[in-house]
Amino acid sequence: MEQKKLCVIGDPVEHSLSPVIHNTILRHAGLPYEYGRVQVKAGDTEAFLRRAVREGYAGFNATMPHKTALVKLADELDADAKLYRAVNTVVLREGKIRGCNTDGRGFLQMLAESGISPQGRTVLVLGAGGAARAIVLKLAQSGAARIFVCNRTLSRAEALAEEFPAQITACPFDQQTLSDCALFSDLLINTTPMGMTAVADQFDSLAFLEQLPGGVPVCDIIYSPPETPLLCRAKELGHPTMNGLGMLIYQAIFALEEFTGTEIDAAAMMPSVKAALREAMGG
């Protein structure tokens, strides 16, 4: 049976673990698709989209810097892509270009796997970039009572707060504010690159974690390293912790369901996917 083509596009893209995740799932599910990486520079999004249609791709995922550009290029958008104004999954079917976003759903599913519901929670979110937007807006939609978004560029947090002003509060990113917000929070999420391997910019201090009430879950969407300094300190203080690997896997599973029109048993796939990722990441 001829294999249909899928891929992830981005710049850079060589570091992407998407092919490892997708091909592992496709192989175990017996689905006739192959998934690769294609480097596409900023400004070349539309040209690649035309090529994908011409070459018979079933679809593709998009990472930076293409997520925003694809919004205007799609014939239709799912509800999350409209809300986030960003597309990470493009389905090419029956001559139509459908833009989707699976990031928020992937994050919520990761929380659910750990028995965490956003309903009624006060959440402290560090950062206001693209990942933060998907996470914050999905948390607001899912019933979070209050979300503090702390960001160094306050205007970005303020723009995010405008979407759900009754629930989202924009805050500056300084030690006093972080400590004040932590006191009232029952879930903390880092969406910044601070703590990521090979990123020079790091937290000035993690003292704000000491203000979190006991037992509050701490999540860092970074997955390399598997345990960031933020998560190490949170664990020392007795907090349950999780990294972003679950979000990465679940958003890929939801994307594959969009591409293939097939429901995927995530629980059955998890052991194989995590094993493949450990091997790919050298651990």
Active-site amino acid positions:
67
CA–CA gap between residue 147 and residue 118 (Å, rounded):
10
Buried b (16+ CB within 10 A) or exposed e, 120-158: ebbbbbbbbebbbbbbbbbbbbeebebbbbbbeeeebbb
Please choose, from the candidates 53, 79, 81, 56, the residue with its C-alpha nearest in 3D space to the C-alpha of residue 67.
Answer: 81
Query: Where are the extended beta strands (E) located within 159-250?
Result: 168-172, 187-190, 218-220, 241-242
CA–CA gap between residue 150 and residue 153 (Å, rounded):
9
Neighbours of 103 (CB within 10 A): 28
Neighbours of 179 (CB within 10 A): 16
CA–CA gap between residue 72 and residue 56 (Å, rounded):
21
Contact 114, 259 (CB under 8 A): no
Taking phi over 0 as left and psi of -120 to 50 as alpha, with beta for the rest, 120 belongs to left
Q: DSSP class of residue 39?
A: E
